[in-house]
Amino acid sequence: MSTATLRDRARDRAGAITLLLTAVGYGAVGGVFLVPDFQALFPTLTKATVDLLAHAIAAVNTITVCTLSLGWYWIRNDEVKKHAAAMTTSFALILLFLGMYLPKVAGGGTKLFVGPDPAYYAYLVMLAVHIVLSVVSVPVVLYAIVLGLTHTERELRNQTPHRRVGRIAASAWLLSLVLGVVTYLLLNHVYDSTFEAAEAAAVLLPALPGP
């Protein structure tokens, strides 16, 4: 089957592909919190390794903020090829993030914020918004990416909601990443934290892990 034929089939099934990839993403992240058999697939990590992964994740997310911002800037200046390269790079970086985040949570554990009450509540609010945006932006981001990879520039402009969807996806994704980096800094550099190993962390606010 030719590349053109595969692209045509993918173009006609952009919505279905998005749903499938969204289900896979939700399943993988949900599995490291809720499914012991899935957690067992990952090696047990020391606190030092968890810290190293946290720093690496923050670095990747910071770079992603830069590439997303460049992609937004370039498309506003009608530099389509640069925009496409920036967004493709951003998507590759988010896959790299997942490659570190899943073993960190499943095999490592969770760091819990220790600090004064005002900072603690501000941290929780930012972390909650970060997580909510991360969850709800997944299908929108994936749909924008799938459309971008399966349609020509002319088709994207005239036949798809790529511009509108992309604007929503980039806004939610950027804000989520920025809040993730800020909460990382608060947890790891500005204030103190305690560490719960993976087994204990599973029962402590599983929806609100530290970055």
User: Quick one: DSSP state of residue 196?
Assistant: E
What are 66-106's pLDDT values in tens digits?
Answer: 999 999 999 999 999 999 999 999 999 999 999 999 998 88
Q: Point out the least confidently predicted range of 12-16, 21-25, 91-95.
A: 12-16
The predicted structure's pLDDT at residue 205: 38
25-34, 53-62, 184-193: which is most confident: 53-62
How far, in whole angstroms, is CA 123 from its chain's centroid? 19
pLDDT of residue 3: 59
CA distances from 91 to 23, 26, 64, 98 (A): 17, 16, 8, 11
Q: Given the DSSP bridges, would you call strands 109-114 and 192-197 parallel, antiparallel or unpaired?
A: antiparallel
pTM of the entire predicted model: 0.86
Mean of all residue pLDDT scores within the chain = 87
CB 210 within 8 A of CB 183: yes
Of 34, 11, 5, the C-alpha closest to 198 is 34
* Annotated domain spans of the chain: 3-201
pLDDT of residue 203: 39
CA–CA separation, 147 and 129 (whole Å): 27
- Whole-angstrom CA distances from 46 to 142, 182, 193 are 33, 24, 16
Tens of pLDDT along 153-209? 899 988 999 999 999 999 999 999 999 999 999 999 999 888 776 653 443 333 334
- ∠ CA 97-20-166, nearest 5°, is 65
pLDDT value, residue 10 = 78
Q: What angle do CA 72, 76, 79 make, to 5 degrees?
A: 90
Report which of 133, 150, 143, 149 is spatially closest to residue 166, judged by C-alpha positions. Answer: 143
Domain 3-201 in CATH 1.20.120? The answer is: yes
Q: How far apart are the C-alpha atoms of 191 and 123, rounded to whole Å?
A: 11
DSSP one-letter code for 102:
H
